[in-house]
């Protein structure tokens, strides 16, 4: 938190005004750069082409080993939790180079070319970097050429999917995976809340995200939300993100 004092000269009394800005997590590093959740234009209620894109905005290589990706609720309560392989904090098996994008697909397949499902405005995720996988979901598609981010919640039987128009997505370093009591805020790397309405009651702490991305996004409209500039982070998704007409997995929109 930063305080800035302003002195007004010329008066008998000195007036000092203080502006406080919450800036937790706004420093360079691994960021959630794009969230595509709304689904492509279709009449089948199809949204399995969802993905989350990460971006390393720092000058250093970062490592995904043991990190967790969560779908969150009120008071940092976990609703979904999936984990990268490797040892949290110390693992060096899964690097992300500076200025690099990483695409995490719900299903790493070509969603534009599904038999009996003409979805030309969907996305080809067969070349995603990672794929969410739940071994308890026996119908979950698994691309053998794409490494998995695995479910670690006992008894959870669903693939990693997110709400089409509102949700909270969080990535953390994996030092706290005790999801029953929420995630330790000190382990959080980045957090983004998106919602179709700016009037919605915030579900996540302001220290993690002070606003909403995706205000006005249309369900099954093929739109995505992306940072206005790769890695740009003021810790306020209302400012940091914009709606784009079509998802851009692995690159920044122009």
pLDDT of 118 strictly over 80:
yes
Write down the pTM of the prediction: 0.89
Q: What was the pLDDT predicted at 99?
A: 97
Beta strands in 27-145 (DSSP E): 30-36, 51-56, 62-63, 68-72, 78-83, 95-96, 101-105, 113-114, 117-118, 130-133
Over residues 123-181, the pLDDT tens digits come to 999 999 999 999 999 999 999 999 999 999 999 999 999 999 999 999 999 999 999 99
Over range 226-232, report the average pLDDT.
Answer: 96
Q: What was the pLDDT predicted at 132?
A: 98
Q: What was the pLDDT predicted at 9?
A: 45
Over residues 23-54, the pLDDT tens digits come to 445 688 999 999 999 999 999 999 999 999 99
pLDDT of 87 strictly over 90:
yes
Residues 6+ apart with CB under 8 A from 232: 57, 240
Domains in the chain with CATH codes: 27-244 (2.60.40.1260)
């Amino acid at each position: 938190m930063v305080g800035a004092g302003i002195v007004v000269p010329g008066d008998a009394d000195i007036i000092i005004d203080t502006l406080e800005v919450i800036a937790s997590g706004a420093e360079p590093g691994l960021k959630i750069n794009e969230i595509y959740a709304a689904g492509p234009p279709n009449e089948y209620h199809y949204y399995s082409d969802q993905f989350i894109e990460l971006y390393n905005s720092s000058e250093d290589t970062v490592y995904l080993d043991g990190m967790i990706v969560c779908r969150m609720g009120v008071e940092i309560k976990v609703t979904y939790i999936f984990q990268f392989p490797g040892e949290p904090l110390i693992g060096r098996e899964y690097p992300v180079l500076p200025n690099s994008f990483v695409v995490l697909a719900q299903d790493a397949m070509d969603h534009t070319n599904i038999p009996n499902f003409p979805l030309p405005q969907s996305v080809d995720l067969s070349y995603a970097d990672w794929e969410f996988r739940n071994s308890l979901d026996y119908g979950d598609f698994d691309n053998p050429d794409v490494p998995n981010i695995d479910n670690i919640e006992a008894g959870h039987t669903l693939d990693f999917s997110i709400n089409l128009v509102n949700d909270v997505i969080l990535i953390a370093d994996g030092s706290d995976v005790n999801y029953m009591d929420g995630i330790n805020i000190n382990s959080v790397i980045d957090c983004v809340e998106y919602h179709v309405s700016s009037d919605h009651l915030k579900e996540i702490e302001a220290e993690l995200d002070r606003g909403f991305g995706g205000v006005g996004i249309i369900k099954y409209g093929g739109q995505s939300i992306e940072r206005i500039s790769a890695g740009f982070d003021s810790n306020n998704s209302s400012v940091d993100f914009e709606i784009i007409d079509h998802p851009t997995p692995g690159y920044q929109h122009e």
